[in-house]
Homo-oligomer: A and B are copies of this chain.
Amino acid sequence: MTITLTIDCMGGDHGPSVTVPAAVSFVRSHADARLMLVGLEAPIRAQLKKLKAQDLDALTVVPASEVVAMDDPVEVALRKKKDSSMRVALNLVKEQTGQACISAGNTGALMAVSRYVLKTLAGIERPAIASALPNPRGYTMMLDLGANVDCEPQHLLQFAEMGHALVSALEGKERPTIGLLNIGEEVIKGNDTIKRAGELLRASTLNFYGNVEGNDIYKGTTDVIVCDGFVGNVALKTSEGLAQMLSDIIREEFGRSLLTKLMALCAMPVLLRFKRRVDHRQYNGAALLGLRGLVIKSHGSADAYAFEWAIKRGYDAVKNGVLDRLARAMEENAYPLEQASRDAGGAGHASPAGRPAEPYSAVSSKA
């Protein structure tokens, strides 16, 4: 089976100088992948030429005349730039020419345009942003990371359903464990929303582990952790900040003098292994879940190596039938969800909560 992905080549801080090399490298190592490179033709073709990749059959250039800037308001992306690379790349997924779209464009715009173009899955009130964070045994899938700043209990239940479908599709796990992010393990902890979400989760058919705390993300206590987008985004960016500070300190200490530089040289094999293991770029690529199409959001500042990982995420999602799994899981749970919504007294048609936050990769290690 050929897997066709659409690449918003203009998104991110670096545009085609990052996205095109990543695409070229990806098709060179994945024989069954076809990539549609969407954006301004000249810079894309210039990059292809530079990489001697003009004749690769696996790459097609699809022209789009506009670019959504990283600081464009959602409204501009949505209403003024109808021929943006982002929009065209998403349209190709809607028409089923491509099976997933990968973009490093600004999160708010990407979520809004994706919702507009692709629409949400039946049973989904709020799409969410999901990303894998490293733990000692693999990764913890965490959502929401910034799409929804205020959540009702039934939204957290929906996130859990989506996380379940995603991880069971990607990892072949029958019943991945679900944790509810809280500030203590006891059932009585947390605010009202969390407590009611806990009740819904306990009553669901999901493999609900119970409450987990912030440190459980990196312990890998559960396969999936759900939380509202405000808390998830803060946890993610806090991680990013801490990892950056620690790696800066390591670099500073080893760079202090000729002697310490020699010590770094001695320890280099270990330092490099450490760096490889915690390299945040391997975790690039958050999934926008709950849409009638697969969309992967890359970190805006991704380099080609990191962007290639985001492409890989889209490729894996298609290969593992994530979209079908999600749609099926939502269908199966449609009744309980509506029930849950009524039980929890939540709004049936909650509006999207403003502009989503930029999700960051967690573990940064430039040490």
Which of B183, B239, B278, B355 is close to A239, meaning CB atoms less than 8 Å apart? B239
Number of copies: 2
User: Given A146-B183, A269-B263, are A213 and B189 neighbors across the interface (CB < 8 Å)?
Assistant: no
Which of B215, B234, B360, B363 is close to A244, meaning CB atoms less than 8 Å apart? B215
Which of B135, B146, B231 is close to A234, meaning CB atoms less than 8 Å apart? B231
Interface contact A235-B235, CB-CB below 8 Å = yes
Interface contact A253-B239, CB-CB below 8 Å = no
CB-contacts of A228-255 with B (<8 A): 229-231, 233-246, 248-250, 253-254
Which of B190, B230, B233, B253 is close to A270, meaning CB atoms less than 8 Å apart? B253
Enumerate 7 A-B pairs (CB-CB under 8 Å) in ascending A order.
A183-B229, A184-B358, A189-B355, A191-B230, A249-B274, A256-B270, A264-B270
Interface contact B234-A134, CB-CB below 8 Å = no
Q: Give the interface of A toward B (CB within 8 A).
A: 134-136, 146, 149-150, 181, 183-184, 188-192, 213-219, 227, 229-231, 233-246, 248-250, 253-254, 256, 260, 263-264, 266-267, 269-270, 273-274, 277-278, 353-355, 357-358, 360, 362-363
User: Given A183-B149, A249-B277, are A240 and B215 neighbors across the interface (CB < 8 Å)?
Assistant: yes
Contacts of A135 in B (CB 8 A): 245
Task: Considering the complex, give the chain B residue whose CB is closest to the CB of A239.
Answer: B242
Task: Considering the complex, give the chain B residue whose CB is closest to the CB of A149.
Answer: B191
Within the assembled complex, what's the spacing in Å between the Cα atoms of A150 and B253?
41
Interface contact A253-B274, CB-CB below 8 Å = yes
Which of B219, B241, B357 is close to A184, meaning CB atoms less than 8 Å apart? B357
Closest 9 interchain pairs by CB?
A215-B241, A214-B237, A214-B238, A183-B357, A218-B241, A266-B266, A267-B267, A183-B233, A218-B245
Contacts of A191 in B (CB 8 A): 149-150, 230, 353
User: Given A149-B191, A189-B357, are A363 and B242 neighbors across the interface (CB < 8 Å)?
Assistant: yes
Interface contact A242-B362, CB-CB below 8 Å = yes
Contacts of A358 in B (CB 8 A): 184
Rounded to whole Å, the gap between the CB of A287 and the closest CB of chain B is 18
Task: Considering the complex, give the chain B residue whose CB is closest to the CB of A362.
Answer: B242
Contacts of A146 in B (CB 8 A): 183
Interface contact A230-B231, CB-CB below 8 Å = yes
Rounded to whole Å, the gap between the CB of A145 and the closest CB of chain B is 9
Rounded to whole Å, the gap between the CB of A181 and the closest CB of chain B is 6
Rounded to whole Å, the gap between the CB of A285 and the closest CB of chain B is 19
Task: Considering the complex, give the chain B residue whose CB is closest to the CB of A233.
Answer: B183
Rounded to whole Å, the gap between the CB of A300 and the closest CB of chain B is 13
Interface contact A245-B189, CB-CB below 8 Å = no
Contacts A136-B249, A183-B233 supplied; 5 other A-B pairs, CB < 8 Å? A136-B245, A213-B234, A235-B238, A254-B267, A264-B267
Within the assembled complex, what's the spacing in Å between the Cα atoms of A254 and B270?
6
Within the assembled complex, what's the spacing in Å between the Cα atoms of A12 and B278?
33
Rounded to whole Å, the gap between the CB of A266 and the closest CB of chain B is 4
